[in-house]
Structure 1
Amino acid sequence: MSSRISIARPASNSYTSDPHGLSNSRHSSGYRSADPDAPLEKLQVIAKQIEDYVEIYSQPLKPHLPTIGRFLIVVTFLEDALRILTQWGDQIWYLQNHRHFPWGLSHLFLLINVVTMIIGSGAIISKRYTEFATGGLLAVVIIQGFGYGLIFDLNFFLRNLSVIGGLFMVFSDSMVSRKAVFAGLPSITETDRKKYFLLAGRVLLIFLFLGFIIQGQWSIMRVIVSIVGFGACIMVAVGFKAKWSAAFLVLVLSVFNVFANNWWSIHSAHPQRDFLKYDFFQTLSIVGGLILLVNMGPGGLSVDEKKKNY
């Protein structure tokens, strides 16, 4: 904080200023930048102002951010469960004819997925048994990748890494203390566990944007968005100005999602509609993870946290 230092003057009226001009006639204003007009200094001032605006305007929503974030994270699982139920025959046909699932195993595979996604999503929204719920949804992501043969598809892989990052953010948000299972053995404290899961969640969340950068047709606007967005992703990963960069990515991904994945404008019989719908809800899940990051902050393993100690 900047402050002015005033010098006490004698009560006598005979006081004269320094005849040799050795004293500083200007009052001290505390800490001053070496070069306030330097581009880096100006950038830091702008970043601080943006952070303050984000903090101010997010205050009315702050009590609701955890609920909004949790719902958006699991919305892709709820949509997927609804898709399986409404396209049950098509799903069975695909698994049996293209993935060579035997009759019965294909039905069991889909049933397990639907039940796990519905129960796990409900548990996360209601903040009940969150550890088991996130574990179940994580298992769904993995077995669907193998079951549908998409594990080696780069776009699918990057998107699901981001979904896993969102699940890690949920896990960190509702982490509970555990007592050591065996007395005398070293255990990781709740704070340490939360730091590590927040770090993993931050890093994984950015893979969706990396997938956006390497795929699709290039244009001037796409190049600009990719460069700025990639910078924000790096800031999220290392935890530098994390709340600001996460809020920026929420805005960019939300706008991108509406215009690029507008599945509602495609005819219901068009095969592209399902792909766009899938991408739309997955992007919402990553947005939910970023909203939790805005609410919680980057955690202990971040540049922002380290700066507080210096």
Structure 2
Amino acid sequence: MMADSHGLLPPRRLAILNSLTPTLPLSAMASRISIARPASGGYQPSYQPDPHGFGSSGSSSGFRAANPDDPLEKLRNFARQVEDNVEIYTQPLKPHLPAIGRFLIVVTFLEDSWRITTQWGDQLWYLQRHRHFPWGLSHLFLAVNVLTMLIGSGAVITKRYSEYAVGGLLGVVIFQAFGYGLIFDLNFFLRNLSVIGGLLMVFTDSMYTRKKIFAGLPSISETDRKKYFLLAGRVLLIFLFIGFMIRGEWSWSRAFVSVIGLAACSMVAVGFKAKWSAAFLVLTLSIFNVFINNWWSVHSAHPQRDFLKYDFFQTLSIVGGLILLVNMGPGGLSVDEKKKTY
């Protein structure tokens, strides 16, 4: 092969030689660069398999790995295990939780309407003698209460016109508080706040199925309304336990239950581990209700029986509100939701 006067090959032969030279892929070229280690100084390109240090077993400068022996980390792991177990074992009940919660919330109104009907004469006597209701107004007051509670409870259970049913039942709670003169009774007031919280949970649950409820409030989106009503329902639900704490005689067992319950109520109010804490309160209140408000063990002629019965069914209503909270979650205005964002 002959070169020209400058020692270079003719262009045609140079092209032929280039076509015969095998080309290497970029990866192979990169590997050859990394293998090549010239003895002379200067720039030596090298290949690093993990340039960012993600595969390094050591901790990086801005991140500290969780210590499995840390007591706080153990508590977090235990809480995760409890949440996972609750999620697994309640899975068969999940499709039925909304119906169970709705029924339990209105069960106190059903019981109250039954009590007014069966004790009609005693109710009239109390309203006319102690509350100074005129003869016709006392009859109208009781009749409107009974009809509103029956129709509203049926609408809540069947999920038809739930927002109007909740409004009617809220009206019953307010009018009965003034009509029977119990507005200044602290225990009654706190319990009714919790019942109102349960009704707000029903209202929020109905918002998930109905597109528009407040057509006159275009400035507030549907998602924001759910957040605010869920927050109000969560906060009001815990007032029952506050009423339990301030009523009755104190003992070591009562103090222990009060501290644990207050911690769970605070978690529900701020929305931290809300499902877990609400499930804990459902279990605690159910056990408490059966052993403390056991009205069936009291003689029918005893005056305490009616009070225990009233407390029993009101506690069931609040348990129903907590069950709806377990089903729906705490909503956007909660610590749990903020943790997902940040």
Q: TM-score, normalised by structure 1?
A: 0.88
Give CA deviations for 1:7-32 in whole Å, capped at 9, x if unaligned.
xxxxxxxxxxxxxxxx9x99579987
1:271 maps onto 2:321 in alignment:
no
Q: Aligned match of 1:196 in 228, 239, 251?
A: 228
Residue in 1 aligned with 2:135? Answer: 103
Q: SS in structure 1 opposite 2:135?
A: coil
Task: Find 2:67's aligned residue among 35, 39, 55.
Answer: 35
After superposition, give the CA deviation of every residue in 1:117-136 in whole Å (9 maximum; x if it has no partner). 00000000000000100000
- Give the Å deviation of 1:255: 0.2
Q: CA offset at residue 35 of structure 1?
A: 3.0
Partner of 2:116: 84
Q: Distance in 1 between matches of 2:156 and 2:283?
A: 24
1:137/1:52 CA distance change after superposition, 3 Å: same
Corresponding position: 1:249 with 2:281: yes
Distance 1:116 1:287 in 2: 22
**Correspondence 1:178 to 2:222:** no
Q: 1:26 to 1:177 in 2, by over 3 A?
A: closer
Verify: 1:229 aligned to 2:261, yes or no: yes
Query: What are the Cα deviations for residues 58-96 of structure 1, in whole angstroms up to 9, with x where unaligned?
Result: 100000000000000000000000000000000000000
- 2:157 and 2:195 mapped to 1: Cα distance? 16
Determine the structure 2 residue equivalent to 1:296. Answer: 328
Give 3-state SS (helix, strand or coil) of 2:181's partner. Answer: coil
* DSSP-derived class of the 2:330 partner: coil
The Cα shift of 1:163 comes to 0.1
Q: Report if aligned partners of 2:148, 2:168 keep a CA contact under 8 Å in 1.
A: yes
8 Å Cα contact 1:168/1:200 also seen in 2: yes
The 1-side partners of 2:213 and 2:321 are apart by 28
> Match for 1:126 among 158, 164, 186?
158
Give me the identity figure in percent: 78
The one-letter amino acid of 1:116's match is T
1:132-171 deviation digits (Å, cap 9, x = unpaired): 0000000000000000000000000000000000000000
> Does structure 2 conserve the Cα–Cα contact (< 8 Å) formed by 1:180 and 1:187?
no
Q: Tell me the amino acid that sits aligned with residue 130 of structure 2.
A: H
SS in 2 for 1:156: helix
Tell me, yes or no, if structure 1 residue 47 matches structure 2 residue 86.
Answer: no
Q: Between the two structures, name the one with larger relative contact order (CA 8 Å, sep ≥ 6).
A: 1
Q: How many residues align?
A: 288
Q: Distance in 2 between matches of 1:232 and 1:260?
A: 20
Kindly provide the amino acid, as one letter, of the partner of residue 112 in structure 1. V
Structure 1: which 4+ aligned runs deviate by more than 6 Å?
28-32
Partner of 1:72: 104
**Residue 305 (1) aligns with residue 337 (2):** yes
Mapping for residues 156-171 of structure 1, pairs under 5 Å? 156-171=188-203
Return the alpha-carbon distance in structure 2 between the equivalents of residues 297 and 113 of structure 1: 32
CA–CA distance in structure 2, aligned partners of residues 29 and 281 of structure 1: 56
8 Å CA contact 2:59, 2:65 repeated in 1: no
Aligned to 1:260: 292
Once residues 29 and 89 of structure 1 are traced to their aligned partners in structure 2, the CA distance between those partners, rounded to angstroms, is: 78
| Letter matched to residue 177 of structure 1 | K
More displaced, 284-293 or 209-218?
209-218
Report the Cα offset of residue 101 of structure 1: 0.2
**Deviation of 1:181 (Å):** 4.6
Give the aligned CA root-mean-square deviation in angstroms.
Answer: 2.3
Separation in 1, partners of 2:117, 2:253: 39
Residue identity opposite 1:178 in structure 2: K
> Is 1:113 the counterpart of 2:145 in the alignment?
yes
Counterpart of 1:15 in structure 2 is none
1:139 and 2:167 matched: no
Cα distance in structure 2, aligned partners of 1:127 and 1:186: 25
Structure 1 SS opposite 2:163? helix
